[in-house]
A and B are shown apart, each in its own frame.
Chain A
Amino acid sequence: MEPIKTRAANAFKMSLEAGELVIEFGNVVGPGQTPGPAAVAVTDRVILPLDTGRRLAYSLEDCLKPHAAALRAEEAKALPPSEAAVAARSGQAPVRPSPEAAGERAAELLRMVGDLGIPYQYERSFRICRQALLANRFLLTVDAGNIPGNPGERTLEICDRLHMPGAAREAAAANFAMAKCVHFGFEADDDSIICKLYLERAVPGEEAQRARARGEPVLLHLAFKWDLVKDAAVTTRYLWRPGLSAAEIEARLAYVYRDGARASCVLALAALDLTRGRAAAEQLQYLEVEEAENGRRSFDLNLYDAKLQVKDMQRLLHRMREHFGVRPGQMQALYDQIKTKALGHLAGGVHRNGEDFFNVYYGVLGLHRRQ
């Protein structure tokens, strides 16, 4: 009997011949030196019955178990980091905080409006109120006439996906015919996720003139707003007072703030003052806002025609920050991101929770469907 020879091998080939397992062992010649397939010098050929081959496979598996991690790590060397991380420790996913529900909802709304396949406008805003700055708010606007298919149905399909309450849905469906434009709104903070549907009327010129002559408002927007967290809903009416002079707007602002919040009234007047010399007050769209379900009493002043940037109201924002007790760093962090955006409109007054507030809309952007 020949003595056992120990021979190293770094390559093998396995095949099935005449019902038996044939394994050839050998060594790679000139590893990695030249491009193309490597050559192998075969040194040994072993023939095993199938059953023995199966037991060999089991034994190999057992032998390799203690080295599995090292082998995975070796194989992972060729992979990009994210895949290497998974490959090197299979079955271990990184622990992440719970997904942010507000972010998911916002993304869903953006996606659904984008999927309408029509141009839309995207306008962000922030609310400042007592010790709080809330920047996770936006509006998406489409022309109702551009919405493909049945515009009312398509609009309500989006609202359905956002769990619009039944009563609001019925009211929106009943009033949809008035809509020239449709605005989808979103806002979220620590306690609420509010989705909104605004139906904007096309107010005939004669109606606007008549309202101006009589000193009466006309309905411009009918909005339905519902809170996904608190299970609450309101209907909001935006009433336009066409063609007001600066003095008339000042008087209306005094009326909005008639029960207090004098400091906020001064700030609102200061915002109006920013437009002097830039746009005639009569061109600025002044709205008042009411909700039957609560004591909301607020205004919305469209400043786009004044062609201001957010930075033009920097001092005013500073005063607002001080008035509401918002941390300087928080305000600065937001301001630095948006200071060169076009200043859109300013809303303020007494909110539905009785709280003094301002909303600043900025940087409306025309977007198209993502390809």
Chain B
Amino acid sequence: MPDIDISLPMTATGKRFTADDYVEVTVHFKCNLKCVHCMIEGTMDWLRPESNDQLARILAQNARERRWKGLTLTGSEVTLRHDLPDLARAARSHGFEHVRIQTHGTRLADQEYCHELVDAGIDEYFVSVTAADAATHDAITGVRGSFDKTVRGLENLDALECVVTLTNTVITERSYRQLPLVVERLGHLRRLAQMEFWTYWPMRETDDKDLIASHLEVLPYLREAIAAAKGCGRSVEVKNFPECLLGDDRDALDNDQPKLVIDPEFWPEFMRNGFHQCVHRSYCASRRCLGLNTAYVNKYGWHADVLVPLATER
């Protein structure tokens, strides 16, 4: 196990970051990978990124009100924006204590670029790692060599002071068996503070790409990954997985999201997922579970044979 160098304290429930502290702004809708599980794949060409004026308004608001501690620049692949360092500098000058980017991380393989971003004030990097090995990752991203670059990027960041990294691994039929291996593969990173595992949602009512994995099949791999990541001293967040099924790992479920500033046309697409469906929905005591979604139910049914409603909220 590495000597973890993460100064951020964890709460009693194992959290390092609070969604309410952050605002996410979608500033770019272009990407140079072709991840099969991309949730905005079909919308990237028509969703409109927030304008510089809109971003300026958010920065001004934060300068006045100190509403958020952190700004997350997101969309598709924000490192494709040439003015990314400028955006970060502007955010810092408007009172944001942290600037985070959501990225697939391939450009971070360039050490100089990492320095440029860090110098501009980007101190948190939320990096997508889709699998544990190059063959699987590259097959998912559709770009050969992307895994090596992403890992190199994380390693580059690991060498820099005042940097915190987070990873996200989307749970799909093509990745779930590798979840514990992802934790193992990234085990050497000292600045990796949090690992997130997001269960795939297809943004429609059917799983046209056959990517949704059965929760029951995913469960042992996911729990092993959670345990391994916690064992490395990292905090863990699981998204969109039934709370009841997580058993003793229920605390890892965190479906909270920062305020997301995005083209409103995104939301009708998002709502097609149809979350919060469950046979026990009306009497289960869980308040943070997203239940099942339409495509999941259409593919695997209601799982009434195993889901047990929570009688009391923890």
Interfacial residues of chain B within 265-314, with CB under 8 A of chain A in the complex: 265, 267-268, 270-274, 277-283, 294, 297-298, 302, 304-308, 311-312
Interface stretch of the complex, out of B15-23, B166-174, B213-221: B213-221
Q: Is A3 an interface residue (CB 8 A)?
A: no
Q: Is B263 an interface residue (CB 8 A)?
A: yes
Bound complex: CA A134 to CA B215 (Å) = 17
Q: Is A333 an interface residue (CB 8 A)?
A: yes
Bound complex: CA A77 to CA B48 (Å) = 13
When the two chains form their complex, are residues A336 and B271 in contact, meaning their CB atoms are under 8 A apart? Answer: no
When the two chains form their complex, are residues A330 and B306 in contact, meaning their CB atoms are under 8 A apart? Answer: yes
Q: Which of B272, B280, B305 contacts A95 (CB 8 A)?
A: B272
Q: Which of A73, A330, A334 contacts B264 (CB 8 A)?
A: A73
Bound complex: CA A337 to CA B280 (Å) = 14
Bound complex: CA A158 to CA B132 (Å) = 55
Q: Is B208 an interface residue (CB 8 A)?
A: no
Interfacial residues of chain A within 107-132, with CB under 8 A of chain B in the complex: 107, 110-111, 122, 124, 132
Bound complex: CA A337 to CA B243 (Å) = 9
Task: Mark each residue of chain A from 308 to 351: 1 if its CB lies under 8 Å from any CB of chain B, else 0.
Answer: 00000000000000000001011011101111000000000000
Q: Is B245 an interface residue (CB 8 A)?
A: yes
When the two chains form their complex, are residues B304 and A367 in contact, meaning their CB atoms are under 8 A apart? Answer: no
When the two chains form their complex, are residues B268 and A92 in contact, meaning their CB atoms are under 8 A apart? Answer: yes
Task: Mark each residue of chain A from 65 to 85: 1 if its CB lies under 8 Å from any CB of chain B, else 0.
Answer: 000000001101101011011
When the two chains form their complex, are residues A96 and B294 in contact, meaning their CB atoms are under 8 A apart? Answer: yes
Q: Which residues of B contact A332 (CB under 8 A)?
A: 219-220
Bound complex: CA A94 to CA B247 (Å) = 31
Residue from B268, B294, B298 with most neighbouring chain A CB atoms (10 Å):
B268
Q: Which residues of A contact B271 (CB under 8 A)?
A: 81-82, 85-86, 94
When the two chains form their complex, are residues A135 and B304 in contact, meaning their CB atoms are under 8 A apart? Answer: yes
Bound complex: CA A287 to CA B86 (Å) = 76
Given A95-B274, A329-B219, the answer on whether A100 and B279 have CB atoms closer than 8 Å is yes
Q: How far is the CB of B19 from chain A (nearest CB, A)?
A: 14
Q: Which residues of B contact A76 (CB under 8 A)?
A: 264, 267
Interfacial residues of chain A within 84-107, with CB under 8 A of chain B in the complex: 84-89, 92, 94-97, 100, 102-104, 106-107
Q: Is B248 an interface residue (CB 8 A)?
A: yes
Residue from A88, A134, A338 with most neighbouring chain B CB atoms (10 Å):
A88
Q: How far is the CB of A156 from chain B (nearest CB, A)?
A: 23
Residue from B215, B220, B264, B297 with most neighbouring chain A CB atoms (10 Å):
B264
Q: Which residues of A contact B245 (CB under 8 A)?
A: 333, 336-337
Given A73-B263, A88-B267, the answer on whether A337 and B219 have CB atoms closer than 8 Å is no
Q: Which of B216, B247, B267 contacts A339 (CB 8 A)?
A: B247
When the two chains form their complex, are residues A94 and B305 in contact, meaning their CB atoms are under 8 A apart? Answer: no
When the two chains form their complex, are residues A85 and B304 in contact, meaning their CB atoms are under 8 A apart? Answer: no
Q: Which of A92, A97, A104 contacts B277 (CB 8 A)?
A: A97
Q: Which residues of A contact B247 (CB under 8 A)?
A: 336-337, 339
Q: Is B84 an interface residue (CB 8 A)?
A: no
When the two chains form their complex, are residues A329 and B216 in contact, meaning their CB atoms are under 8 A apart? Answer: yes
Write the chain B residue with the least CB distance to A70: B265
Q: Is A188 an interface residue (CB 8 A)?
A: yes
Write the chain A residue with the least CB distance to B248: A336
Q: Is B205 an interface residue (CB 8 A)?
A: yes
Q: Which residues of B contact A367 (CB under 8 A)?
A: 311
When the two chains form their complex, are residues A95 and B268 in contact, meaning their CB atoms are under 8 A apart? Answer: no
The count of residues in chain A whose C-beta lies closer than 8 Å to any C-beta of chain B is: 49
When the two chains form their complex, are residues B277 and A96 in contact, meaning their CB atoms are under 8 A apart? Answer: yes
When the two chains form their complex, are residues B264 and A84 in contact, meaning their CB atoms are under 8 A apart? Answer: yes
Q: Which residues of B contact A203 (CB under 8 A)?
A: none
Q: Which residues of B contact A144 (CB under 8 A)?
A: none
Residue from A73, A86, A122 with most neighbouring chain B CB atoms (10 Å):
A73
When the two chains form their complex, are residues B305 and A133 in contact, meaning their CB atoms are under 8 A apart? Answer: yes
When the two chains form their complex, are residues B305 and A132 in contact, meaning their CB atoms are under 8 A apart? Answer: yes
Q: How far is the CB of B241 from chain A (nearest CB, A)?
A: 11
Q: Which of B265, B277, B297, B306 contacts A333 (CB 8 A)?
A: B306
Q: Is B44 an interface residue (CB 8 A)?
A: no
Bound complex: CA A122 to CA B284 (Å) = 13
Residue from A89, A97, A338 with most neighbouring chain B CB atoms (10 Å):
A97
Q: Which residues of B contact A27 (CB under 8 A)?
A: none
Given A97-B277, A365-B311, the answer on whether A135 and B305 have CB atoms closer than 8 Å is yes
Q: Is B117 an interface residue (CB 8 A)?
A: no
Bound complex: CA A96 to CA B292 (Å) = 11
Bound complex: CA A328 to CA B221 (Å) = 14
Q: How far is the CB of B50 from chain A (nearest CB, A)?
A: 10
Write the chain A residue with the least CB distance to B271: A85
Q: Which residues of B contact A273 (CB under 8 A)?
A: none
Q: Which residues of A contact B40 (CB under 8 A)?
A: none
Write the chain B residue with the least CB distance to A104: B282
Write the chain B residue with the least CB distance to A108: B282
Q: How far is the CB of A105 from chain B (nearest CB, A)?
A: 10
Q: Is A170 an interface residue (CB 8 A)?
A: no
Q: Is B244 an interface residue (CB 8 A)?
A: yes
Q: Which residues of B contact A111 (CB under 8 A)?
A: 282-283
Q: Can you give 15 contacting A-B residue pairs, CB < 8 Å? A: A76-B264, A79-B264, A94-B294, A95-B205, A96-B274, A97-B294, A100-B304, A103-B282, A111-B282, A132-B305, A136-B305, A330-B216, A334-B305, A336-B223, A337-B247
Given contacts A95-B294, A103-B278, 12 further A-B contacts (CB under 8 A): A73-B264, A73-B265, A74-B264, A94-B271, A95-B274, A96-B205, A106-B279, A135-B305, A189-B304, A329-B220, A336-B248, A339-B247
Q: Which residues of B contact A (CB under 8 A)?
A: 57, 205, 215-217, 219-220, 223, 244-248, 260, 263-265, 267-268, 270-274, 277-283, 294, 297-298, 302, 304-308, 311-312
